[in-house]
Amino acid sequence: MGRFVFIAQIVATVLCTKGKEIIASRVADLLNVPRYLAVGVGPGTSDPGDTTLFGEVSPRVICDLSLVRIDTGNDRVRAVATWTNFGAIITLTNTGIFDADSSGNLLCKADGVGQALDTNEGLEITWDIKITGQC
C-alpha cells in the first residue's frame, strides 16, 4: 500500500502559556526551538493552559525548521514533518509541537484536524508559527 501525504497548514492555533516561556528563552537559537511533532486521536478543545495533546499517539517526529517571510522579514518559524500511522486505522484530531521526543513542554496545539489515516499512510503537517498579541 502506498503512502498518502496530505499537506495541511495549521493557521488557527493556540499559543500555550509554557510556549510563551519557551520562545522567550530560545529566540536567539533556532536550533533549540521545539521541533517534535506529536499527533492525538482524542476529543477536546485547545486551551492556552494545555500541557498535553488529547490521546497522543506515538511516536513524535522531528520537524524540519526554517524561517519564512509572510508579512515582514523572517516573521515566522515554519515546522514541517510527516507523521506515519503504522497501526490500525485512526482519525487524527489534534496536533502539537513539543521540545522533547517524550514528555517535555507543549509549544502550540491545534484541534479539529479530523484526518483519517489507514495503516502505513502519512500526513505531512506544516506549522507556520507567528508570535502575536500580548505575552
Q: Find the range with the poorest average confidence among 3-7, 20-24, 27-31, 67-71.
A: 3-7
Mean pLDDT of the chain, nearest integer? 79
Average pLDDT over residues 56-63: 95
Average pLDDT over residues 127-135: 63
Q: In the prediction, which pLDDT does 27 show?
A: 52
The CA-CA-CA angle for residues 79, 7, 67, to 5°, reads 25
Q: In the prediction, which pLDDT does 9 show?
A: 43
> Could you tell me what percent of the chain has a pLDDT over 90?
46
Q: In the prediction, which pLDDT does 129 show?
A: 79
Q: In the prediction, which pLDDT does 107 show?
A: 87
Average pLDDT over residues 13-37: 65
Note the residue count of the chain: 135
Distance CA 72, CA 83 (A): 30
With bands split at pLDDT 50, 70 and 90, how would you rate the model's confidence at 13? low
* CA within 13 Å, CB half, 36: 18
Residues in contact with 55: Cβ distance below 8 Å, sequence separation at least 6, in sequence order? 40, 41, 42, 93
Distance CA 116, CA 133 (A): 33
- 85 contacts 126 by C-beta, under 8 angstroms: no
